[in-house]
Amino acid sequence: MNLIALMFSSTFFSGFMFGKKGKGGGLIGSILAMLAQLYFINAGFGIKANTFLIILSFFIGILSITRGEKYIFQKWGAVKRHTGQLVISDYNQTNIDEVHGQAISGTSAFLFNITPQGQVALLLISFILFRIFDTKKTWPIKNVEKKFKGSFGIMFDDTVGGIMALMVTIALIYIPMILLF
């Protein structure tokens, strides 16, 4: 395998090396996405920039995870996850999937005509919800994780987690409005 391609893939699948920290890699990946979204809010870029982040992170994940994980396996073999489980895929170092999931979850900040402070509040709510869904692996995330393998499976379970967090965030906005009016 070409060493440069391997290093490139390893850099992207680990969220620009932040995932190499090991424990907390998913949290760091989510924070990276949230920082990008905060920049989008501050710069006035809006939903188009966030949609680009969603699409880009998915394709980077699909293309880089397999090579990056081959690199880790060749270098260290099976590795323990933060849960103590010995794995040969979806390592703690893999966090482009969390970047992607948070990018989806944080879309709520761009859907409503509200102040930048309101957008930041929605971003924080969606971040907390996504981290809960991602760490607890609730239904249907757990089913997706079991059914789909490889780079697609790693990306898709966080896609589902991001969509769930987005839906709950939107519900938290609309339910009080419905009850009040």
Total H helices, total E strands in the chain: 8, 2
pLDDT at 171 over 80: yes
Determine the Cα–Cα distance for residues 95 and 155; give it in Å rounded to an integer: 9
pLDDT at residue 167 is higher than 60:
yes
Structure tokens at 109: 């900040």
pLDDT band at 9 (very low <50, low <70, confident <90, very high): very low
Q: How many domains does the chain have?
A: 1
Average pLDDT of the segment spanning 152-172: 96
Q: Which residue has the higher pLDDT, 1 or 71?
A: 71
Give residue 158's identity as a one-letter amino acid code: D
Structural domain boundaries enclosing 57: 3-180
- For the chain, the average pLDDT equals 84
Q: What is the pLDDT of residue 181?
A: 76
Alpha helices, DSSP H, located in 44-140? 47-76, 96-105, 108-111, 116-136
Q: What is the pLDDT of residue 145?
A: 86
